[in-house]
Structure 1
């Protein structure tokens, strides 16, 4: 018979084909707001849902009961899903943890390059005074700089490898990962304050948890170099945006590149958006064609596995970050530090 599967947003053709070939019925939703999904749940009573940006609070699971069996997050983050409610209503939650990792890592690097080359000023001055733009814009290289990566999972690890290829010195902080599992060439750091103090770029790749929420704040920003940049391609909740605004406005730090902000879509009067030393992009790190195709297919495959009674490849992990094991071992890079004169 197959399942009824609700799709609040687009699913790529290969993924649709996989589901339909396995006998499932696809229901294109009326919209991706939470209220739209609740209405579709009540009307169609689907067995499964593939969700991209929709917040999934308890009300969704209440509306979906008792038919909903599987929820798949079309991507790596799952903080928008009320996992406690899902468990209470016996809904298995899956995700696509590596589908967009490369794309997000590239986005982090793009933000570093944009900020280091002061592209906002270049664009502003280009038609005003060409030679002022060319000769008087302060720009730096990534070569020889130190990047501090907070969170070294699928995305953080890929970001680290790309920074190493740019001949940067890479410090990585992730207390939930043993040193042996970090990429070769990085220095494993167990002191978070050292990341803020020593880095020319602090790049966030951690999930939104009770431990990481507002981890970037007035105190940690004050530790950073005045020439340093904050890069956030993870979750907006990791950053106290009022504190970041003051730090960028008063040049406590050089600026910030943000692909994730606390309130999405962006509020029209968001103070950070008014600053020339802040770049904000609309959470597009995982929105490349390739990443979307991978995430769609992995999401569909998860439903196929569940329908067949197989163990799913990508279940959302049940981790209590307050009590999870933390590691203290370290690892030094197996190469000499990069410097200004390394070509």
Structure 2
């Protein structure tokens, strides 16, 4: 009897075909609307495999319905949408898709840094809104990037790739991480510091650390008070690492100069989020890995992980 897999969002046809070769599938056949919780609860009760996205909350209550489930294949690097402890208790393998999105996310992070520093969105809106009347000496002036100091919080794969890009701009680099990376320090001329020193000394602060209970609200009112008034915060990691209320106040009151955000605590972000009212905030809809090639690689890796676990083999990337 062929195993059955539930896929929580419409994925590329070639990936579906790969799974169908070995499994029967059921799928939430939408691209822009997450599967409703009641539908997920019903579907998870009778399948051996779950192929899901970060938009699905796979908590203990959901997992209690999973009587046959062997594997949860998350098409993402992060897995804070899954109750890992509950999955482990039930003997369910959880997998993710690291590595394949490293360079694409680093590209986006540096692009967001540049767009925020040089006020590109504001400038485009000025032109399109008919407000560009003449050249003016200080009109839409931003912050220099070349030769500035970049502080990176979290020196994993993506953090290291971001540092390589910054090296080309002759940036001075500080980093804060759970462990020191001497080889990277030598290669990229970076300096390992504590968090407070990084915040005080950086012109740009980029958050690249995973979201964990320890990093929740890592950056808040106290941390913003340490930063330069000309500094820029960039977050392409997870929204909950930054206290959004404190960030809004810091930006509104001029405690820091600007922020570039690809992630929010609640996604999709509510349109009444006060951060969206500020001209010194560049916002993106969580597109860090959104290149065609990278998303295809992620989808394929998630399928590979799923199929290996279904066959009681070890997947390429196991969380638990």
Normalised by the length of structure 2, the TM-score is 0.92
Distance verdict in 2 for CA 1:131–1:33, change over 3 Å: farther
Secondary structure of residue in 1 paired with 2:268: coil
1:90 matched to which residue of 2? Answer: 91
2:151 matched to which residue of 1? Answer: 148
1:19 matched to which residue of 2? Answer: 19
1:134 Cα offset (Å): 8.0
Distance verdict in 2 for CA 1:160–1:35, change over 3 Å: farther
Distance verdict in 2 for CA 1:79–1:113, change over 3 Å: same
Among 251, 267, 282, the alignment partner of 2:254 is 251
**Equivalent-residue separation in structure 1 for 2:193 and 2:37 (angstroms):** 39
1:115 Cα offset (Å): 1.0
Greater shift after overlay, 169-178 or 90-99? 169-178
Greater shift after overlay, 161-170 or 230-239? 161-170
**Equivalent-residue separation in structure 2 for 1:180 and 1:310 (angstroms):** 34
Distance verdict in 2 for CA 1:309–1:211, change over 3 Å: same
Report the RMSD for the aligned CA atoms in angstroms: 1.9
2:112 matched to which residue of 1? Answer: 111
Distance verdict in 2 for CA 1:266–1:183, change over 3 Å: farther
After superposition, residues 248-327 of structure 1 pair within 5 angstroms as 248-316=251-319
Distance verdict in 2 for CA 1:297–1:134, change over 3 Å: farther
Quick check: 1:160–1:183 contact (8 Å CA) kept in 2? no
**Equivalent-residue separation in structure 1 for 2:37 and 2:284 (angstroms):** 23
1:210 aligns with 2:213: yes
Cα distance per residue 1:198-256 (max 9 Å; x no partner) = 11110011111121111111111111111110000011110111110010001110010
Distance verdict in 2 for CA 1:220–1:311, change over 3 Å: same
Secondary structure of residue in 2 paired with 1:184: helix
Quick check: 2:147–2:171 contact (8 Å CA) kept in 1? yes
Quick check: 1:76–1:99 contact (8 Å CA) kept in 2? no
Secondary structure of residue in 2 paired with 1:273: helix
Provide the aligned length of Structure 1 versus Structure 2.
313
1:81 aligns with 2:68: no
Among 171, 182, 187, the alignment partner of 1:184 is 187
**Equivalent-residue separation in structure 1 for 2:315 and 2:235 (angstroms):** 30
**Equivalent-residue separation in structure 2 for 1:13 and 1:176 (angstroms):** 41
1:174 matched to which residue of 2? Answer: 177
1:178 Cα offset (Å): 4.1
Secondary structure of residue in 2 paired with 1:216: coil
Among 9, 15, 40, the alignment partner of 2:43 is 40
Distance verdict in 2 for CA 1:258–1:33, change over 3 Å: farther
Secondary structure of residue in 1 paired with 2:25: strand
Normalised by the length of structure 1, the TM-score is 0.86
Quick check: 2:10–2:28 contact (8 Å CA) kept in 1? no
2:69 matched to which residue of 1? Answer: 68
Question: Gaps spanning 5+ residues in structure 1: where?
Answer: 318-343
**Equivalent-residue separation in structure 1 for 2:10 and 2:180 (angstroms):** 35
Question: Gaps spanning 5+ residues in structure 2: where?
Answer: none
